[in-house]
């Protein structure tokens, strides 16, 4: 059953080359995006792991407005 489905899939890929290329490119871009997002999240979550008591570290962000209304 699976072998028959694979044969059918490859036959359709050969018949409709443009459609196949678009689908394969879209799939590869999607997989690359997911991997990139995963690596970015992994980096952010593991940023402070090299410090002792890293679970107690917090990040404080402030936003101030200057005299001219510019945010810094």
User: pLDDT per residue over 19-70, tens digit each?
Assistant: 999 999 999 999 999 999 999 999 988 877 888 888 888 888 888 887 777 7
Confidence at 3, pLDDT banded by 50, 70, 90? very high
pLDDT score of 71 more than 80 = no
What is the rounded CA–CA span in Å between residue 57 and residue 48? Answer: 8
Cβ–Cβ < 8 Å for 46, 52: no
Find all residues with CB under 8 Å of 51, minimum gap 6, and list them: 57
Q: In this structure, which long-range contacts are made by residues 58-61, counting pairs with CB atoms below 8 Å and at least 24 apart in sequence?
A: none
Tokens of 43: 């980096």
User: Residue 72: what pLDDT?
Assistant: 61
């Amino acid at each position: 059953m699976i072998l028959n489905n694979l044969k059918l899939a490859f036959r359709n890929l050969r018949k409709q080359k443009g459609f196949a290329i678009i689908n394969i490119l879209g799939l590869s871009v999607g997989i690359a995006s997911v991997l990139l997002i995963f690596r970015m999240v992994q980096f952010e979550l593991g940023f402070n792991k090299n410090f002792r008591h890293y679970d107690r570290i917090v990040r404080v962000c402030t936003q101030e407005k200057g005299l001219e209304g510019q945010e810094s």
